[in-house]
Amino acid sequence: MSGVQRVRTTNVADLEFWPVTRKSLTKPLRKTEKSPEEEVMALDEKNGLPSSAIVEPLTPQLHSVSIPSVLRRNLSLNASCSSDASSDSFHSCASTGRIYRTNSTAVRRRQLALKSKTSVLDGISEPLQDSLQVKKRCAWVTAHTDPHYATFHDEEWGLPEHDDKKLFELLVFSGALAELTWPAILSKRHIFREVFADFDPMIVAKFSDKKLTAPGSTASSLLSELKLRAIIENARQISKVIDEFGSFNKYIWSFVNYKPVISRFRYPRQIPVRTAKADVISKDLVKRGFRSVGPTVIYSFMQVAGITNDHLISCFRFQECVTAAEGKEADVTTNGVDDKRTAELIESDTCRAIDELSFTSE
């Protein structure tokens, strides 16, 4: 009997030593085992707060073994209600059973970083799919190339040109490369066209050198006086060529037998600065009185006007320019045949008229 009483006294001592801890720990265990629906029903019956809400927040000083399970249950219930209730929250590690504190602001930053990464990836996913389908261009046209020049490469450079005004414009631009770059020229293209009357050689041939090269004029801000005088003189010589050959197009394309020279280069280093054909054309132009038409300028003019196709064979424009040249050659041949037929008809009509006149005179 005395032994039993000793056990009771020790139990009583334990109960007196842990009165608050047993109440605060055992009650939440019973309450937290209930589902949220049961807690709502209990609230309706008691008209008060649930027992889990009365539990005082635990401090890091408690290291009881039963604490992590209680915290997990409390956090599982409270996390669904308000995940951002406080800036600091406790989390239990399932593998070690330890309690550690993490700042919710750091968690938010990580979540925002993940969202930004996913949004960026989602935004790039479509361009990446498009980039796989992007047409391959010449090696000197990169992602950092000026947009004006990239468009010029995709639409005009290397395409066979047969319009006299356009040929005169490209000849002027090729000469301007000695002072400006292609992006700079293309950005001022509208100003060039305004100053030189849309590059009509007949109109530019009548320009006054003094007015065009006067200080403060719009033309003087584009090129040097030497280049401006050369443009006017070349317009005058082009007008003479038109009178002689019928068009500047026929004259300039006659050097390549009206067919573009297809280079079929694989690498940019293979493209020359000048060729023998450019030397021949340059010499003939100089004899006719043209200025600033050296072999290098003429070869640049041949490239841009499509007289020679210097697109790399890997560029999508290479085959397009070849196809366009073949179509224009067919048009030229059909036009040539039609011209011959019309000439034959005119000759036959004139012969008949002469025969009739001779018969009536007899």
262-315, pLDDT tens digit by residue?
999 999 999 999 999 999 999 999 999 999 999 999 999 999 999 999 999 999
Does the pTM surpass 0.75? The reply is: no
| pLDDT in the model for residue 134 | 75
Residues of the chain with pLDDT under 70: 1-133, 328-362
311 labeled binding residue = yes
| pLDDT in the model for residue 162 | 96
93 labeled binding residue = no
Task: Return the bridge partners of 262, or none.
Answer: 309
* CATH architecture for segment(s) 147-332: Orthogonal Bundle (1.10)
What residue ranges do the domains of the chain occupy?
A: 147-332
315 labeled binding residue = yes
- Angle in degrees, 0-180, between the axes of helices 67-81 and 19-32, rounded to the nearest 10: 50
| pLDDT in the model for residue 176 | 96
| pLDDT in the model for residue 313 | 93
Query: If we measure between CA atoms, which residue out of 357, 328, 349, 183 comes closest to residue 260?
Result: 328
165-213, pLDDT tens digit by residue?
999 999 999 999 999 999 999 999 999 999 999 999 999 999 998 889 8
321 labeled binding residue = no
| pLDDT in the model for residue 131 | 38
Type of residue at 328:
K
| 39: its two tokens | 């807690």
| 37: its two tokens | 């629906």
Query: If we measure between CA atoms, which residue out of 205, 148, 196 comes closest to residue 169?
Result: 196
